[in-house]
Amino acid sequence: MTQLMNSGNQTMVAEFLFSMFPHLHEGGLLFFIPLLLIYWFIITGNLVIFIAIQVDTVLRTPMYFFISVLSFLEIWYTTTTIPKMLCSLVSEQKTISLAGCLMQMYFFHSLGITEGCVLTAMAIDRYIAICNPLHYPAIMTPKFCIQLTAGSCLCGFLLVLPEIAWIATLPFCGSNQIHQIFCDFTPVLSLACTDTSLVVIVDAIHAVEILASFLVIALSYVRIIMVILGMPSAEGRHKAFSTCAAHLAVFFLFFGSVAVMYLQFSATYSVFWDTAIAVTFVILAPFLNPIIYSLRNKDMKEAIERLLCHKKKAGGAGK
């Protein structure tokens, strides 16, 4: 049952209903099992990558440090939305409280912005490594890497706070149905029974932030590719390209889905396409990241093999 609160002559909404999830008897279990397996793979894959980088001395470099940070963020990024999706698929109560919805929006967007900042730091790292290799050890010190990571987290978790605080003050009345698979700004604000035109300004600010990160990364890789193409050694070119290939794949996957989902401006999509885009952004991109970083990276594959073999030996020795 939907919880409502009376406030004067208006009935205020205390919780929201996700209207996009099928009921259990309508095939909810058919979506639940694949999503559960995908979530398990995302958590396990990113956890293995994170642990392998932390314990393997071969991977004690700035590049792998940022990959470990990205994997750590992916674990929490998906955990803000997918567990609630799983519950909604098998439960008759497909609802979320107003406070829970605000928390989900805050952590989802904060972690997403932090990931974008970390990808920018990774692009800077590759730019210095390839375009200015002699100064790379002096610039990309462990201290500077930690500072970049801390700055990314600070940026991500502070930028969204004013918008969430503003939404928390809005009155919600009338319909409480969210036509999306998780709480997001646009579907939630459409339920507010007051003027929300201010969100256009906020969205414009976020669009500028996204475009700024995109331009920094894109320009860095354009310069990187130009330097790689000018290398005299074919082996050197191949090694440099293979190093950057995974980063470029994640870059296009992340910013491509962000652009489609949040830089629509006046474009409108049907509820089906909005949901399909959300699935790509929330589920597909995090699912592909561990595959990209583990299968396309020789050092990463070897580190994971060493980690798994060590665990097997430790398990065998304990028997």
pLDDT mean across residues, the chain: 83
Burial of 317 per CB tally in 10 Å (0-12, 13-18, 19+) = exposed
CATH number for the domain running over 4-317: 1.20.1070.10
What's the predicted TM-score (pTM) here? 0.87
pLDDT at 91: 87
CA-CA distances (angstroms) from residue 185 to 160, 168, 289? 11, 12, 25
Q: What percent of the chain has pLDDT over 70?
A: 87
Spatial separation of the C-alpha atoms in residues 152 and 35, rounded to whole Å:
29
Residues 219, 224, 225, 231, Cα dihedral to 10°: 150
State pLDDT tens for residues 34-77.
999 999 999 999 999 999 999 988 888 999 999 999 999 999 99
192 bridge partner residues = 172
Spatial separation of the C-alpha atoms in residues 317 and 80, rounded to whole Å:
38
**Helix or strand run (H / E) with residue 178:** strand 177-178
3-class DSSP state of 101: helix
Domain ranges of the chain: 4-317
Spatial separation of the C-alpha atoms in residues 183 and 251, rounded to whole Å:
24
State pLDDT tens for residues 181-224.
899 888 898 888 887 777 767 777 777 777 888 888 888 888 88
